[in-house]
Amino acid sequence: MKIIEGKSGVWHMGPGGTLLLPKRYYEDGQLTAEGACELERADIAQRGPTDRYNLTVVTSTACNLGCPYCFQNTDAAAPGRFDPPRIDKQVLDGPTIDRIVDFTRPRMEQAGATRLFVLLFGGEPLLNPWACRELLVRLRALGPVTASMVTNGVLLTARKAKRLESAGLRSVQITLDGPRELHDGLRATRSGRGTFDAILDNLAAVQEATALRLTLRLNTTSEGLPLLEDLIRDLSGRLDPTRCSLDVAPVLNYAGMFDNVLDRSGGEVETILRAYAAALESGFEVGWPGGGECGFCGEQDGVSGAVINADGTLYSCWETIGKPDYEVGTIDDGYSDYPQERWVSCGEFSKKTATEAASKAFDDALSVGLLEMLRQRRRALESAS
């Protein structure tokens, strides 16, 4: 349970939801008996039952971009180049898809799950579009399939999007690194070509051809921070913001290979919150911060979900895919007797390896500021209706 004091009261963020309690329920920093009853009644300390099993599957570990901060880089690119070395190349094939189905079936039965959520991941998953669709089609043998994809968007054509939508894809996450000039200097192809306009043109075509929901992840560096609002205005003019969710994500310095990170001061929090306010005014959806466990790595050994590399190796989390000494089993033999420290949950690996890990004060200030903003906006909308 994450507990943060805000202007409106004390926010409680648990696996089962978020609750705002008045400050009168706290005395000397302790929850009163009345407050404890309210918290128990809300029942947010535990995640509720679900009939969904969660799979993250990598279809290709290769990537067509050379982002300098990528957590899958194994070293920095040589001077003047845009192709940093990466984790070992693996490509998902048909026999491995069948093995994934066989691996998943008994785990769904054990969990009492009747449907699947699949996250298509990479590298860049659309370097292997056949496997993306074939995986979703073959998994239908286990129950209804709903899917999302994390892609850089360069290869996301309307035709591919329509074919994947027919197989169960419902949403796509795409990352942008700032307005065109800044984005193209960071998120370039491995030969150095900019990608901003190609990505935005693709997204506009996908919105016209499909009903897919887009999640725009705005990667933010110290250089890009003051440009967030300009980027949001640009995006709202090129896309339908009512069909997009938006998230601001400060870039971390994985393995010390990228220096242009935020110093995580109070002023930076206010700048990010102003960007969120601009996004809401433009019509973008902004999600409520939560304290829930990840469906993929929140429970060990495939209880609620699994993370599978393209060669069938199991990992605990998307952050550790392909990294030596972080394997926790295979889809053929199941989870191994691995050292406990290999099971890493979301966010933990970045905090272990980044030279400037996210500070608790920064994260808490951003979460509570966003919660207060969304609460105020919801109350205003309710009053207007």
| pLDDT tens sequence across 101-136 | 999 999 999 999 999 999 999 999 999 999 999 999
Same domain for 118 and 98, yes or no, is yes
Residues of the domain holding 20: 2-47
Whether 300 is in a domain gets the answer: no
Whether 305 is in a domain gets the answer: no
Whether 215 is in a domain gets the answer: yes
Residue 12's CB is within 10 A of a number of other CB atoms, namely: 22
Same domain for 57 and 13, yes or no, is no
- Per-residue pLDDT band for 355 (boundaries 50, 70, 90) equals very low
Domains in the chain, number: 2
* DSSP string for residues in 347-371: THHHHHH-SSPPPHHHHHHHHHHHH
Same domain for 172 and 151, yes or no, is yes
Residue 356: what pLDDT? Answer: 45
Interhelix angle 196-209/158-167, rounded to 10 degrees, is 50
Per DSSP, 77 falls in state P
Tell me phi and psi for residue 62, to 5 degrees: -75, 160
Residue 253 or 372, more confident: 372
- The percentage of the chain sitting over the pLDDT mark of 90, rounded to a whole number, equals 81
Torsion region of 195: left, alpha or beta (phi above 0 gives left; psi -120 to 50 gives alpha):
alpha
- When the pLDDT of each residue in the chain is averaged and rounded to a whole number, the result is 92
Same domain for 72 and 35, yes or no, is no
The mean pLDDT value for 62-90 works out to 95
Cβ neighbours of residue 110 closer than 8 Å, sequence gap 6 or more: 303
Cα(215)–Cα(205) distance, integer angstroms: 15
| 67-105 as b/e: b if 16+ CB within 10 A | bbbbbbbeeeeeeeebbbebbeebbbbeebbebbbebbe
Whether 325 is in a domain gets the answer: no
The mean pLDDT value for 154-177 works out to 98
pLDDT at residue 254 greater than cutoff 80: no
Interhelix angle 228-238/196-209, rounded to 10 degrees, is 40
Cβ neighbours of residue 221 closer than 8 Å, sequence gap 6 or more: 177, 178, 186, 250, 251, 260, 261, 262
Whether 227 is in a domain gets the answer: yes
Could you tell me the CATH number of the domain that includes residue 366?
3.20.20.70
